[in-house]
Amino acid sequence: MQIYNMKRETQWIWFVLVLLFITHTISALDKPVAREMINNKPEFSGFISIDCGSEIDYLDSESGMWYESDNGYVERGSNHMVSWNVDLNFRYFGKQLNTLRCFPEGERNCYSLKPKEEQTKNSSKYLIRALFSYGNYDGINQAPCFDLYIGVNLAHKVNLSGYENGYWNAEIIHTAPSASTQTIDVCLVRSGPTIPCIASLELRPLNTSIYQTPPTDPQQLLILQLRIDVGTPPLPPPYDSDSFFRYKDDVYDRTWRHNLDGMKDWYSLDMKSVNFDNGSSDYKLPSQVLRTAVQTRNVSKPLQFDFDNVFFEPLDKPFEYFIYFHFAEIEQLPRGQKRVIDITLEFEPILSHPLVLEYLKPVTVSPQKTTRGFVSFNITATSESDAPPILNAFEIYKLITQLDSPTHTADVGAIVDIKSTYQISRLNWQGDPCVPKQYAWEGLICSFSATIPRITSLNLSSSKLMGQINMSFSHLTELEFLDLSLNELEGPLSEFLAELPNLKLLNVTGNKLSGKVPKALKEKADLQLSVDDNPDLCMDSCNKKNFVTPLVASLSALIVILFIALGFWIIKRRQKVMLSDSKKGESLTSKYRAFSYSEILNITENLKTVIGEGGFGKVYFGILQDNTQVAVKLLSSSSAQGYKEFRSEAQLLMIVHHRNLVSLIGYCDEGENKALIYEYMANGSLHQHLSVNNPNFLKWNERLIIAVDAARGLDYLHNGCKPPLIHRDLKPSNILLDQNMHSKIADFGLCRAFRSDTDSHISTLPAGTLGYVDPEFQRTGNSNKKSDIYSFGIILFELITGQHALSRTPEKNVHILEWVIPMVETGDVHNIVDPRLKEEFNINSAWKAVEIALSCISPATAERPDISQILAELKECLSLDIVQRHVKRTKTIFEFTSLRIDSEISPSAR
Ligand SMILES: *[C@@H]1O[C@H](CO)[C@@H](O)[C@H](O)[C@H]1NC(C)=O
Ligand SMILES: *[C@@H]1O[C@H](CO)[C@@H](O)[C@H](O)[C@H]1NC(C)=O
Ligand SMILES: *[C@@H]1O[C@H](CO)[C@@H](O)[C@H](O)[C@H]1NC(C)=O
Ligand SMILES: *[C@@H]1O[C@H](CO)[C@@H](O)[C@H](O)[C@H]1NC(C)=O
Ligand SMILES: *[C@@H]1O[C@H](CO)[C@@H](O)[C@H](O)[C@H]1NC(C)=O
Ligand SMILES: *[C@@H]1O[C@H](CO)[C@@H](O)[C@H](O)[C@H]1NC(C)=O
């Protein structure tokens, strides 16, 4: 008997252990390993980066940061993607801008950001950045207007009209009150008929020693109006809107806009050799920002800045602002000489002593002023100065003080506990419970008589509350009215409610409470107590009950419940995983439009214009009803091989989406008639542009931009997709150009997923196109990322030389490498570069391009670089070219007209 029991017991123990193990493994699988790796890097400590509307967490290759989906941060809203025909082609933030979360429900919707514990202890100052895009996601072409609140205070009135094809961003420095709840609510509040949407939200902890504001007020907001890296030229169009530094250059991830326009009697200094380390000042300005500056040509001339349009919102009354001037001496002045500067702001001197700049010692000066919207300042050199005045960078922030105080932290803590204990899901139970008054949580009444609002009444009547009366109610210490009537509360009527000093009414009518009403409650002065309709609750004497039976019963019930709950939990988790998968599938197919074959004939005017020919059929030009131009790829009925490619292409395009990959609009699947409908690429393929017959040959920088774009697309396939995708048929006819000459990769018919770098894909099918196929792949049949790199190298050589990969002579085909390599060996880059360019290119840039191309075609596949590295190098190539052209420009155009830096160029791009 005993042995048998033992066995039973051990079986149970094993069962529990196995269950525990399973649940543990399931939850471990949930945690993305990469995210841990990235977020544990010390430099990211405390960063929160959220891509609103994204279904997945991912590593953003441009910033090197881990962006999270917003699922855990916000309770409501729906996810959207910006329209296909809006191209948010930005170097930074492009990926985040493409997905949105919008809030059709409720007046106020809040993200709650919880900074890490150790951060909140040491620092209560944060940089919060919110990005907003619209991109006609709903197809009605009406940009939204709404309010942005940080905590309980209005920070911005957001108006996205004028930003339909770009984005608008807000950067706010928030100083949390020291005893605050350590949750920062960022709320979108409706201010009109349109639906608020947000694209991304970021939080960066700052050292409290910087961006100091008056200490009198515990709660303040600094709203960024302008932050300029003076002296760094903006990139030329179309990259001008990408022209800024952020992380990793800036450890706090501030965005520093470049600016040089509007110089008068000034010139810019760029001391490339100078390096500032992060410790050189508390503000930790990036070296790239500090090492550039403007300075006047004459010691006696001031640097004069006037702005009459710095502030975003209409100015109905004067307000305070802070301006932060950042100086650093970057020139090594001759011995004994010094640079001494003075500053006047609004025509008043602001320094008690002139500032003597020391070599490589950054200094920040931060006066506070009142304005009606106009900001003007002069930097002058004093009479002792041997060098003219300089300025390296500056920032202007609007200061908002005398803010509304949030609700008392104890009350917030208690009500949040109550909300989660009873899983109360009311539409407006988000953000601060009492403030602003018009958005106070439904069922609450607050008192605003003291500086800190308190909850005085809580009505949870008929709210489906289950379980016992929670301790948290007793933490609402100012509570006067508590209505818990008509719920399913069980257990005793707790004595702790009697400790609420001001409680005047307690209504628990219509619950399942049991036991005796505590004496303390019955005798509490001024308390009106309603306890009707609780069958097991007794006012005075209750029947004595056997205590043992309930105890045993409840213990065994507890065990049973535990197991059931565990089982349910596991099942639910599985369901959740499955659900989210099927949800994704749904949204994918529904996102793409299904066309009937007659529609296809209609939009292509009966297959009138052929614009290309792919592996499995012809490509036709078409126009949709809304005038969107499209390319229609029709599967020819004879092609069996084609059908496989066609299907693989359709499947892939439903998964991958990137601005440098040609995107799918819809499909047709009607028996024999199968078609894919793509965005139309107005400028055809790179192949057409490289043709010697093309009179409008590409300029050098256009070629580099095309290469950079294509590299980005390939980088996404190789490094942004899991598992990585190999294109296997990269060639200039698969690189298409849009109306702005941005390139996108097309033709994913041969694309294959593969598991890892070592485990390559072995294919029996021929893949690729003669001239572009990696010889290593031809030999072994192994294709991997490095085979794409080879093809990319050939394309680079074509871009450099303007020649096709194979040039046909009457006798035979000559491969580009056969004649390029010998020329490279003689070191004569001028003969390699397309002769049509004449000398219109930067020689260093050309050399670098040749070097990159050479590395790509290395016979030793292991030596071929990863596409991410190629991308970085190509960008450098582009910047070499830009710098060169910029120098030329500033040499010829010294005199700029008047200074015009307005809010247009910063901090919101376009
Ligand atoms: C916060 O301060 C404590 C000491 O007060 C220190 O031990 C800890 O390292 C600090 N944390 C951070 C992130 O700076
Ligand atoms: C938003 O801006 C547009 C253009 O600047 C203006 O016409 C419109 O009235 C603004 N909307 C609101 C609600 O302020
Ligand atoms: C913040 O700045 C102060 C003053 O420079 C410095 O002592 C402190 O270490 C800094 N704290 C952090 C967390 O970087
Ligand atoms: C600098 O300006 C002063 C006064 O305008 C003028 O007298 C002087 O010649 C200028 N010096 C140079 C080097 O241009
Ligand atoms: C509480 O709310 C219910 C309806 O939700 C209402 O009938 C009741 O009067 C309210 N109680 C108090 C004390 O205001
Ligand atoms: C208590 O709640 C019940 C049900 O909502 C209501 O009928 C009753 O009037 C309330 N009692 C008091 C004193 O407010």
| 3-state DSSP assignment of residue 558 | helix
Ligand 1 pocket mutation pick from 41, 44, 121, 206 by most atoms within 8 angstroms of CB: 121
Bond into 907 cis (ω within 30): yes
Task: Give strand pairing partners of 619.
Answer: 612, 633
Which ligand has the minimum distance to the alpha carbon of residue 507? 6
Q: Is 121 in the pocket of ligand 1 (CB under 6 A)?
A: yes
Q: In angstroms, what is the C-alpha Rg of the chain?
A: 33
DSSP 438: G
Query: Measuring from each residue's beta carbon to the nearest atom of ligand 6, which residues come in under 6 Å?
Result: 461, 485-486, 507, 509-510, 528, 530
Q: Is the pLDDT of residue 789 over 90?
A: yes
Residue pair 138/86 in contact (Cβ under 8 Å)? The answer is no
Q: Where are the alpha helices (DSSP H) in 767-902?
A: 775-780, 785-801, 816-826, 829-832, 843-856, 867-892
Tokens (6 digits) for 847: 């050399």
Nearest-angstrom CA–CA distance, 649 and 751: 7
User: How do residues 727-783 score in pLDDT, each as one tens digit?
Assistant: 888 999 889 998 888 899 988 777 776 544 444 444 445 567 778 888 877 777 777
Bond into 436 cis (ω within 30): yes
Q: What is the mean pLDDT of residues 350-375?
A: 91
Residue corresponding to tokens 């950067």? 171
φ/ψ of residue 530, rounded to 5: -115, 115
Residue pair 296/302 in contact (Cβ under 8 Å)? The answer is yes
Nearest-angstrom CA–CA distance, 537 and 493: 8
Count of CA atoms in the C-beta half-sphere (13 A) of 468: 11
What is the reported pLDDT for 13?
Answer: 52
- Range of weakest confidence among 59-63, 564-568, 746-750: 564-568
Tokens (6 digits) for 140: 């009605």
Count of CA atoms in the C-beta half-sphere (13 A) of 526: 7
Q: pTM (2 decimals)? A: 0.62
- Range of weakest confidence among 468-472, 672-676, 714-718: 672-676
Tokens (6 digits) for 399: 């200061």
| 3-state DSSP assignment of residue 35 | helix
Residue nearest to atom 11 of ligand 3 (CA): 207
Q: 701 Cβ partners below 8 Å, 6+ apart? A: 236, 878, 881, 882, 885
Q: What is the mean pLDDT of residues 784-801?
A: 92
Measured in angstroms, how far is the CA atom of residue 581 from the centroid of ligand 6? 47
Nearest-angstrom CA–CA distance, 341 and 260: 21
Q: Is 530 in the pocket of ligand 5 (CB under 6 A)?
A: no
Residue type, 172: I
Tokens (6 digits) for 72: 């855990």
User: How do residues 206-233 score in pLDDT, each as one tens digit?
Assistant: 888 899 887 777 678 999 999 999 988 8
Nearest-angstrom CA–CA distance, 483 and 504: 11
Q: Alpha-carbon torsion 48, 53, 57, 58, what sign?
A: negative
Nearest-angstrom CA–CA distance, 391 and 630: 50
pLDDT band at 187 (very low <50, low <70, confident <90, very high): very high
Residue pair 864/856 in contact (Cβ under 8 Å)? The answer is yes
| 3-state DSSP assignment of residue 117 | helix
Residue nearest to atom 11 of ligand 1 (CA): 118
Residue nearest to atom 3 of ligand 1 (CA): 122
Residue type, 714: L
Q: What is the mean pLDDT of residues 436-443?
A: 94
Nearest-angstrom CA–CA distance, 562 and 190: 44
Measured in angstroms, how far is the CA atom of residue 205 from the centroid of ligand 1? 13
As to burial, measured by CB atoms within 10 angstroms (0-12 exposed, 13-18 middle, 19+ buried), residue 892 is: exposed
DSSP 517: P
Chain centre distance of CA 77: 17
Nearest-angstrom CA–CA distance, 827 and 820: 11
Bond into 248 cis (ω within 30): yes
Closest by CA position to 225, among listed 363, 321, 134, 150: 321
What is the reported pLDDT for 91?
Answer: 78
How far apart, in Å, are the Cα atoms of 673 and each of 605, 644, 677, 703?
Answer: 16, 14, 13, 38
Torsion of CA 49, 50, 51, 52, to 10 degrees: -160
Residues in the chain: 910
Tokens (6 digits) for 679: 């965005």
What is the reported pLDDT for 876?
Answer: 84
Which ligand has the minimum distance to the alpha carbon of residue 265? 4
pLDDT band at 70 (very low <50, low <70, confident <90, very high): very high
| H/E stretch holding 520 | helix 519-523
Measured in angstroms, how far is the CA atom of residue 340 from the centroid of ligand 4? 18
What is the reported pLDDT for 19?
Answer: 47
Ligand 1 pocket mutation pick from 116, 118, 208 by most atoms within 8 angstroms of CB: 118
Query: Measuring from each residue's beta carbon to the nearest atom of ligand 2, which residues come in under 6 Å?
Result: 145, 159, 161-162, 192
Nearest-angstrom CA–CA distance, 109 and 104: 10
DSSP 133: -
Tokens (6 digits) for 452: 């800190």
Residues serving a catalytic function are: 729
Residue pair 800/853 in contact (Cβ under 8 Å)? The answer is yes
Q: Alpha-carbon torsion 579, 585, 589, 590, what sign?
A: positive
Residue type, 190: R
Nearest-angstrom CA–CA distance, 658 and 729: 18
Residue 485, sorted as left (phi over 0), alpha (psi -120 to 50) or beta, turns out to be beta
User: How do residues 703-740 score in pLDDT, each as one tens digit?
Assistant: 998 999 999 999 988 988 777 888 888 999 889 998 88
Which ligand has the minimum distance to the alpha carbon of residue 45? 1
pLDDT band at 197 (very low <50, low <70, confident <90, very high): very high
Q: Is the pLDDT of residue 900 over 80?
A: no
Q: What is the mean pLDDT of residues 792-804?
A: 92
Closest by CA position to 131, among listed 153, 158, 151, 109: 158
User: How do residues 526-549 score in pLDDT, each as one tens digit?
Assistant: 899 999 999 988 887 766 554 444
Residue nearest to atom 3 of ligand 3 (CA): 209
Residue pair 472/497 in contact (Cβ under 8 Å)? The answer is no
pLDDT band at 656 (very low <50, low <70, confident <90, very high): confident
φ/ψ of residue 644, rounded to 5: -60, -50
Residue pair 703/686 in contact (Cβ under 8 Å)? The answer is no
What is the reported pLDDT for 28?
Answer: 39
Q: Is 483 in the pocket of ligand 5 (CB under 6 A)?
A: yes
Residue type, 409: T
Nearest-angstrom CA–CA distance, 186 and 391: 34
What is the reported pLDDT for 568?
Answer: 57
DSSP codes joined into one string, 373-431: S-EEEEEEE-TT-SS--EE-EEEEEEEE-SPPPPPPHHHHHHHHHHHHHTT---TT--S
Residue pair 183/113 in contact (Cβ under 8 Å)? The answer is yes
Residue pair 480/459 in contact (Cβ under 8 Å)? The answer is no
As a whole number, the mean pLDDT across the chain is: 81
| 3-state DSSP assignment of residue 177 | coil
Measured in angstroms, how far is the CA atom of residue 457 from the centroid of ligand 5? 11
Give the position, in ligand 1's atom list, of the atom nearest the Cα of 45.
Answer: 13
Which ligand has the minimum distance to the alpha carbon of residue 134? 2
What is the reported pLDDT for 688?
Answer: 85
Tokens (6 digits) for 1: 């008997």
Residue corresponding to tokens 């500090």? 290
Which ligand has the minimum distance to the alpha carbon of residue 119? 1
Closest by CA position to 356, among listed 347, 348, 346, 365: 365
What beta strand segments (E) does 635-685 contain? 664-670, 673-679
Q: What is the mean pLDDT of residues 358-370?
A: 92
pLDDT band at 117 (very low <50, low <70, confident <90, very high): low
Nearest-angstrom CA–CA distance, 25 and 636: 49
Task: Give strand pairing partners of 227.
Answer: 395
Q: Is 122 in the pocket of ligand 1 (CB under 6 A)?
A: yes
DSSP 331: S
Q: Is 207 in the pocket of ligand 3 (CB under 6 A)?
A: yes
Closest by CA position to 368, among listed 216, 552, 194: 216
What is the reported pLDDT for 559?
Answer: 64
Ligand 3 pocket mutation pick from 44, 118, 209 by most atoms within 8 angstroms of CB: 209
Closest by CA position to 815, among listed 835, 837, 793, 836: 793
Measured in angstroms, how far is the CA atom of residue 480 from the centroid of ligand 5? 14
Residue pair 437/357 in contact (Cβ under 8 Å)? The answer is no
Residue nearest to atom 10 of ligand 3 (CA): 207
Q: Is 298 in the pocket of ligand 4 (CB under 6 A)?
A: yes
Q: Is 45 in the pocket of ligand 3 (CB under 6 A)?
A: no
Residue pair 461/485 in contact (Cβ under 8 Å)? The answer is yes
Nearest-angstrom CA–CA distance, 855 and 790: 9
Closest by CA position to 812, among listed 770, 777, 774, 856: 770
Q: What is the mean pLDDT of residues 93-112?
A: 93
| H/E stretch holding 702 | helix 700-715
What is the reported pLDDT for 671?
Answer: 77
Chain centre distance of CA 302: 40
Measured in angstroms, how far is the CA atom of residue 388 from the centroid of ligand 4? 11
**Domains parsed from the chain with CATH numbers:** 38-208 (2.60.120.260), 244-400 (2.60.120.260), 409-538 (3.80.10.10), 584-679 (3.30.200.20), 686-893 (1.10.510.10)
Residue nearest to atom 1 of ligand 2 (CA): 159
User: How do residues 293-346 score in pLDDT, each as one tens digit?
Assistant: 999 989 999 998 888 777 767 666 788 899 999 999 999 999 999 999 999 998
Q: Is 300 in the pocket of ligand 4 (CB under 6 A)?
A: yes
pLDDT band at 143 (very low <50, low <70, confident <90, very high): very high
% pLDDT > 90, the chain: 38
